[in-house]
Homo-oligomer: A and B are copies of this chain.
Amino acid sequence: MSKRVQLTVAYDGTNYCGWQLQPDKPTIEGELNKHLSQLLNEPIQVIGASRTDAGVHALCNTAVFDTDNRMPAEKISYALNQRLPEDISIQESKEVAGDFHPRHCDSRKTYEYRITRGEFPIPTKRLYSYFTYHKLNVEQMRKAAAYLVGEHDFKSFCSVKAVVETTVRTIYTVDVEEQGTDIVIRVCGNGFLYNMVRIIAGTLLEVGKGSLLPEQIKAILDGQDRQLAGPTAPAHGLMLVKYEFFPERSLETLEK
């Protein structure tokens, strides 16, 4: 009797070429497929919720797979963690409805982009925070962030190589929080385009440095041109921190 199992997956993306399976390269999906197949003694292919880029971290990415193995779903986390490398860790495993698909249902994701300010980099932060020696005006960054909230066409905040049906997304909140010498940009939305959070972070950094004014964000959105927004901030500052699913509100797939 086959069942569908949902995994909550935390990882340090430093040593991986991202989530998505690539031949002969270390990926989170590849590690999960390999170790699940060995554990459950059948070929397993997971479906990931968020296909994070190389170097991006996660506290709670999500994967589902189907298995005929009779191991109780909630025990799989314990058994799989025995096999996974220490930079990947299953936080929870549970049985879900057979038609649950993490990319085909309504969801809300929260990402954090972390910036560390200082004169020199701090080695123990180098893997999980973007270092800058620039002074940053946090109040201006907050004003700029407010323009991003709501339903907008985020074409200007999407890497051009992405192929999607629509570039309209809804951002519920963007917080710019100071934590000592760190600044955390926390973005919550119903979905994100390719590189969207990193481009938002890169654009807010330009605002913080004074190279852009908060009011220019509106024109950047309206212009629908990637060239108008700031650079794509480096991957290692980004972490997927929260993923909420609303399976009862099923959707057409947003991404091709």
User: Using a CB–CB distance below 8 Å, which chain A residues touch chain B?
Assistant: 10-12, 57, 59, 77, 81, 86-91, 119-124, 126-128, 239
Partner among B57, B81, B120, B127 whose Cβ is within 8 Å of the Cβ of A91: B120
Q: Binding site of A, secondary structure by majority: helix, strand, loop or mixed?
A: mixed
A87 touches B126 (CB 8 A): yes
Smallest CB-CB A-B distances: 9 pairs: A12-B123, A87-B123, A12-B124, A57-B124, A89-B120, A11-B123, A89-B123, A89-B121, A91-B120
A120 to B89, CA, bound (A): 7
New contact pairs (16) apart from A87-B126, A89-B123, A91-B120, CB-CB < 8 Å: A10-B122, A10-B123, A11-B123, A11-B124, A12-B123, A12-B126, A57-B124, A59-B124, A86-B121, A86-B123, A86-B126, A87-B123, A89-B122, A91-B119, A124-B128, A124-B239
The CA of A119 and the CA of B122, in the complex, are separated in Å by: 29
Which B residue sits closest to A90, measured CB to CB? B120
Asked if A59 and B10 sit within 8 Å, CB to CB, the answer is: no
Q: CA–CA, A121 to B120, complex, Å?
A: 30
**Cα separation A232 to B128 with both chains bound (whole Å):** 28
Nearest-neighbor residue (CB-CB) of A126 within chain B: B86
